[in-house]
Amino acid sequence: MDSVVHDESEDCSTKLTVEGWLKRVERRRQLAYTSGYDFCSEDQMNDEVHAKRGSWTGRYDFLLSLLGYSVGLGNVWRFPYLCYSNGGGAFLIPFTVMLVIAGLPLMFMELSLAQYAGLGPAILFKRLAPLSEGLGYGMILISGMVMLYYNVIIAWTVFYMVVSFEEPLPWRGCQHEWATENCFSYEEEDNCDASNGSYYMANCLSHEQFRVLNATLRMPRKPPAEEFFKNYFLQLSNGIEATGTINQRLAICLLAAWVIVFLCLSRGVKSSGKVVYFTALFPYVVLAALFVRGLTLPGAYDGIMYYLRPDWAKLRTAQLWGDAAVQIFFALSPAWGGLLTLASYNRFDNNCYRDAIVVAISNILTSFFAGFVIFAIIGFLAHELDTGVDSVIDQGAGLAFVVFPELVGKLQMPRLWSVLFFFMLLTLGLDSQFTLMETVVTAVLDTFPALRRRKTAVVAAVSIVGYLGGLIFVTNSGMYWFQLFDKYAANWSVLLIAIAECVLVGWIYGAERFIYNIEEMMGKRSKSFHRFWIAIWKYVTPAMLLVSLTLMLWTKIG
């Protein structure tokens, strides 16, 4: 980039000295709260100054929103499972490598881009290079699809949190209409044994009745929490083609979830930025409490050792490195559009480099710590069931809505632990949902600036569309649709978008030019800073992403 710059108050071809450049920086800082401001258009400047798109009221609003968006449900129910299935502690090596050379560079690049431009993904890439406009809309499409099914998880947690106040917990025992003959309760078996009976097909039989039935075959066992989740709560059909009817219970919970999101986002980042002070920090309190309680449970040590035991041979497998690459996109969420959206509301001189490093380190530490908590609990459950840790380990919905509900019934004060756990899941889910929703809303407002004065109405409209679109997930086949979206909505697509971003910024726009843009915001940087990030964005990160994509394809084909 040349040592001279253009003055926004003059024609774009007019060049400035260093003194003029400094004046430009100061002026940009004063105008940083406007959207879509083109420094070669005074008419646009006058319009945009009066049509502000909003901004964070404080630095910690942005930092906690960024932390809440990045630290989500995946840290609690996906990362521990990946550690378990990919060599235990050995998984931390590729995960850290991928975070340093792919996740952090992408995060820093997106935060810097959006903060400099003051634009969301819908308009940002069009301004950067007109042919790349589809890149922004691809991000918005991904966030929109994930937004639909992600709020379903929040709806589930709302229901479970509410029924956790019941005494006894509704999923305890097999003496319910929703229980099948495969339902097996260890608590009921112990009570039956104490009365000198034989527990079979969810009934306590006398020895004579047991002999008459000739019950010699071992029935497949399913815990009550699993049958409650599938048969009562989801009313699950036999396949995705058997749509059935809308589950009214779930539809009401989904409506409640969308109302919560609407109320928190109705005033944009000014309202959501305050909510995250609680939602981003509360999960750490619950995780700490669960960790302390988990360490006192029998079998916790075995579970933790199972989690940490490294299998170094796994480092040579393509599956391990592919899983680490995908987890980076679930952890830091680059290429989804959310990072661009959050940073677009920043002050022009905010140090987004520091923010990216803080969030990246916090994310990996949170993921690692959550693994201790989850596996201590799983180790205890395996001890109680007199089985191996590998037979009770699960991920995703199975871990949150089957394994843990089954566990809390064996703890003292089960209702308290159940309420705390599901409230933690609620706050984790809301943080991510806020940004997914804000990404879509910001895209609408950036595309149609006249609607900024009616942002509450836009948020309401997006919420209504989101609720109606999410009704497919609360039918009898909803779980199958949920799994379909979860597997394909944000998988290879985010890798492809990230590679395209690196090519766009590193080669088309120019990494060298982009570094000077960063200096406009954060001040002069050393030559080593220039050389390092230019090399990372132009060569290292895109190469690693291409290798990761190749490994994923290789694993899929294999």
**DSSP H helical segments within 118-185, as ranges?**
121-128, 133-163
Relative orientation angle of helices 282-295 and 269-279, to the nearest 10 degrees: 20
Alpha-carbon distances of 520 from 5, 23, 29, 198, 507, rounded to whole Å:
11, 11, 9, 77, 20
Please state, in angstroms and rounded to a whole number, the distance separating the CA atoms of residues 190 and 123.
63
Please state, in angstroms and rounded to a whole number, the distance separating the CA atoms of residues 164 and 420.
9
Both tokens of 153, joined, read 């998880």
Q: Which helix (H) or strand (E) holds 205?
A: strand 203-205
Please state, in angstroms and rounded to a whole number, the distance separating the CA atoms of residues 155 and 387.
32
Site of tokens 């360490």: 295
Please state, in angstroms and rounded to a whole number, the distance separating the CA atoms of residues 54 and 181.
58
Determine whether the annotation assigns residue 71 to a binding site. yes
Determine whether the annotation assigns residue 247 to a binding site. no
* CB-based contact 404:377 (threshold 8 Å): yes
Burial of 516 (0-12, 13-18, 19+ CB in 10 A): middle
Determine whether the annotation assigns residue 73 to a binding site. no
Determine whether the annotation assigns residue 68 to a binding site. yes
Please list the residues that pair with 18 across neighbouring strands.
none
Please state, in angstroms and rounded to a whole number, the distance separating the CA atoms of residues 445 and 259.
21
Please state, in angstroms and rounded to a whole number, the distance separating the CA atoms of residues 63 and 165.
34
Site of tokens 């890149």: 135
Determine whether the annotation assigns residue 281 to a binding site. no
Q: Collect all residues with Cβ–Cβ distance below 8 Å to 11 and sequence separation of at least 6.
A: 40
Determine whether the annotation assigns residue 431 to a binding site. yes
Determine whether the annotation assigns residue 346 to a binding site. no
Residue 151 has a CB neighbour count (10 Å cut-off) of: 26
Dihedral sign from CA coordinates of 291, 297, 301, 306: negative
Residues at the annotated binding site for Na(+)?
68, 71, 75, 363, 428, 431-432
Binding site feature residues: 68, 71, 75, 363, 428, 431-432
